[in-house]
Structure 1
Amino acid sequence: MIKARGLARTFTTKRGAVEAVRGVDLDVAPGEIVGFLGPNGAGKSTTLRMLTTLLRPTAGTASVAGHDLRADPAGVRRRIGYVAQGGGTDPGVPVGEELDLQARLYGVRDAPGRIAELCARLELEGLERRAPGTLSGGQRRRLDIALGLVHRPALVFLDEPTTGLDPQSRGNLWEHIRRLRGQDGSTVFLTTHYLDEADALCDRILIIDHGRIVAAGTPAELKRRVSGDVITLALGHGGADKARAALEVLPEVREVALTGDDVRLSVRDGDRALTPLIRALDAAGVELTALSLARPTLDDVFLTVTGRSLRDAA
């Protein structure tokens, strides 16, 4: 659905050339929900603007929704939906009129039926005569998504869709985003500063920093690859040294640290490592009194690959 190679954008300023994006390669398959993360100034917004035809690349090639980004930007626009972070509604124009105008601009033949369908799906029924300025934050965001979907795009770009929403509205919107793929078969390209959102929604995550993709994979792959899992063992008195000697030779174990009678292990795959760890302790005659497994978070991954916490970078 998206294939970009060497995508780059340089801006000319009074101080000289600024390379905002420095040769981005990315692939998004049909039906995927892909998260695009990056600190401020990393090139995330510039990349998104290029992929949605709002900014012409300085270099590189890209195919978006089956159309060449440079040679056929109008074809790209016909096939994508774009929901901007700030929304695109007039606060004084009724919801129904906003949707009707968008449908007519895209030449949607069954506009009334399509609008009714979207209002039902996105819980906007009964609000058609209301002005967006009178709606709640969650209702306005669902209206933004409806406007991006009215022409049945194969690919939907969502730019921080839940920013500013309360937890209940965020959770509600997550369900609507999942249904874009489940009901419509749409591909979703999502930018967000909420790590729990990326973890919950995305099949794969791309992290950009300094204009380049610095990490890519499923949330689970990124956590294992960058941070590993942490297992903490509480042992009987005097068993820590014997446990370290028994465990540090295991191939699953990356690092062993002692804190009193507790042993903290960094392992490649916590689920698979548990059985050999317990067997090794039993063979060494070490009493195990408690065990806990902690998985790294996406913020751990982000901190490792960019040197910054995404929460701090937001």
Structure 2
Amino acid sequence: MPSAPETSAAIVVSGLAKTYGTADKQVRAVDGIDFQVAPGSVTALLGGNGAGKTTTIAMLLGLLKPSAGSIHILGTDMLRDRHHILPRLNFSSPYVDLPHRLTVRQNLKVFAGLYAVPQAAARIEQLAEELNFAALLDRPAGALSAGQKTRVALAKALINQPDMLLLDEPTASLDPDTADWVRSLLEKYRQERGITILLASHNMGEVERLCDQVLMMKEGRIVDRGSAPDLIDRYGRRNLEEVFLDIARGQGKAAALEGAPA
């Protein structure tokens, strides 16, 4: 198996780029980014729509082939040997629906089979109790509410007890109570298993609560990074949302930081 760079990081990304289009007209969705994620940490990938967050996550998962650069996850070169590490990863997004005609139990059984989860039936029952949807197991997935779908999606993401979670807007469209429940669940799971989490989110309060590191993206590049308190202090703002707006609008310190070395 190809070896990772000399580092203890859970994720190492170097020179990662993704270009779409033809030779005559190209769009660079991700433009040569570099970052590392420490084991057991929670890192946020932030940016406006079209900043390159989802494309980056898709490349980390091996769903998209990069145009350039390298990705190492948990010591594995994702471009050469991703099948070795995929059983230790999982992903969740409210924008990816489970098959509507299958019941919740049937959907989870399919994913348990894909991950070769031992004693799958018992694992599904355990998750249904922990995530409070046991009464929904035999209901068609298409008949669930947004909050119920989120619980089931999280069960799908945890079915294989992953060492790393990649989350795209994990609390989008949820009411405040359900969203808080999801964040508490993620905090608990991280504390119990020491997993590494990379999440894309537009909820700045969520990021301030959950994340150790923030990567700010704009137009396919990482334009700033640091902990939420460090970024708030650096920009002289009251909260991370104001920092986000500065960067999105190219105001204040953000304009000078764009293109700065990592």
The answer to whether the aligner puts 1:222 opposite 2:222 as a matched pair is no
Superposed, 1:137-286 pairs within 5 Å as 137-227=146-236
Give the residue type in structure 2 aligned to 1:124: F
C-alpha separation between the residues in 1 aligned to 2:25 and 2:249?
27
C-alpha separation between the residues in 1 aligned to 2:127 and 2:180?
19
C-alpha separation between the residues in 1 aligned to 2:246 and 2:142?
42
Structure 1 length normalisation: TM-score?
0.73
The residue matched to 1:21 in structure 2 has which SS?
strand
Give the residue type in structure 2 aligned to 1:43: G
Larger radius of gyration: 1
Post-superposition CA distance 1:122-161 (Å, at most 9, x none): 1122221111222221111010111111111110011101
Give the residue type in structure 1 aligned to 2:48: P
The residue matched to 2:27 in structure 1 has which SS?
strand
* Contact kept? 1:52, 1:76, Cα under 8 Å: no
1:301 aligned residue (233, 240, 243): 243
Post-superposition CA distance 1:17-47 (Å, at most 9, x none): 2211111111111111111111112111111
Give the equivalent residue in structure 1 for 2:255.
none
Give the residue type in structure 1 aligned to 2:239: T
Taking only aligned residues, the RMSD between alpha carbons, in angstroms, comes to 1.7
Shift of 1:15: 5.0
Shift of 1:88: 3.4
The answer to whether the aligner puts 1:42 opposite 2:75 as a matched pair is no
Aligned length: 242
Post-superposition CA distance 1:37-74 (Å, at most 9, x none): 11112111111111111100111111013321110121
The answer to whether the aligner puts 1:56 opposite 2:74 as a matched pair is no
Post-superposition CA distance 1:68-126 (Å, at most 9, x none): 11101212322210113313311221111111111111111121222122112111222
C-alpha separation between the residues in 2 aligned to 1:79 and 1:166?
30
2:33 aligned residue (24, 36, 39): 24
Give the residue type in structure 2 aligned to 1:160: E
The residue matched to 1:49 in structure 2 has which SS?
helix
Give the residue type in structure 2 aligned to 1:152: Q
Give the residue type in structure 2 aligned to 1:205: V
Give the equivalent residue in structure 2 for 1:121.
130
* Contact kept? 2:94, 2:153, Cα under 8 Å: no
Gaps of at least 5 residues in structure 1 are: 229-295, 310-314
C-alpha separation between the residues in 1 aligned to 2:143 and 2:70?
43
Structure 1 stretch displaced more, 82-91 or 27-36: 82-91
The residue matched to 1:152 in structure 2 has which SS?
coil
Shift of 1:305: 2.7
* Contact kept? 1:23, 1:60, Cα under 8 Å: yes
Give the equivalent residue in structure 1 for 2:16.
7
Structure 2 length normalisation: TM-score?
0.87
C-alpha separation between the residues in 2 aligned to 1:87 and 1:170?
18
Between 1 and 2, higher relative CO (CA 8 Å, sep ≥ 6) is seen in: 2
C-alpha separation between the residues in 1 aligned to 2:217 and 2:124?
36
The answer to whether the aligner puts 1:132 opposite 2:141 as a matched pair is yes
C-alpha separation between the residues in 2 aligned to 1:189 and 1:196?
16
Gaps of at least 5 residues in structure 2 are: 1-9, 252-262
* Contact kept? 1:65, 1:80, Cα under 8 Å: no
Post-superposition CA distance 1:205-253 (Å, at most 9, x none): 111112111111111011011225xxxxxxxxxxxxxxxxxxxxxxxxx
C-alpha separation between the residues in 1 aligned to 2:29 and 2:190?
31
% identity of equivalent residues: 36
Superposed, 1:88-99 pairs within 5 Å as 88-99=97-108
The residue matched to 1:5 in structure 2 has which SS?
strand
The residue matched to 1:129 in structure 2 has which SS?
coil
* Contact kept? 1:87, 1:141, Cα under 8 Å: no
